[in-house]
Amino acid sequence: MKQDILLHKFRFPVFKGPIWVIVGNNIEKTIDYAEDLTSEKIASKKDKKVIRAYAYAYESENGRKKYILFFKHTAKAGEIAHEVKHLINILFSWHGFKLSLSNDEMECYYLEDIVDKVVSIIKKYKKINKVD
């Protein structure tokens, strides 16, 4: 059964914050979908028309930090890594971790883990919708 939008949830290792990965064939629709679910204003109507991929994070009313990644099913490795890096920067900043040029192993493990998960989710979307 085809799905225009695929929402997949998982948690960051260690920090346990929830990450939503939303994949679709249209970024504007994926952001509208997330705005309906969260009541957050994620992007302006104008911006939604030009965004190719997006990382968004917010703090909910109960103080919980939430993280969302948006991708088209055609996202390339560079786009995925780019948005995941934004998300990692936000995560580390919100938890008081300073990024280190001399010891970035933890950051790289997060990058690898999340990129691998996003690639898997995009593959799942493509399989469900029988697209390349």
Instruction: Kindly tell me if the per-residue pLDDT of 68 is higher than 90.
Output: yes
Question: Which whole-number Å values give the CA distances from 72 to 26, 43, 90, 94, in the listed order?
Answer: 6, 16, 22, 27
Residues 128, 6 contacting (CB under 8 angstroms): yes
Q: Is 70 helix (H, G, I), strand (E, B) or coil?
A: strand
Cβ neighbour number for residue 37 with a 10 Å cutoff: 12
With cut-offs at 50, 70 and 90, classify the pLDDT of residue 97: confident
Residue boundaries of the structural domains of the chain: 5-129
Higher pLDDT, 55 or 99: 55
Write down how long the chain is: 132
The model's pTM is 0.94
* Separation of CA 85 from chain center: 10
| Residues 82-98, mean pLDDT to the nearest whole number | 93
pLDDT digits (tens, 9 = 90+) for 26-57: 999 999 999 999 999 999 999 999 999 999 99
**pLDDT exceeds 80 at position 60:** yes
Distance CA 30, CA 48 (A): 10
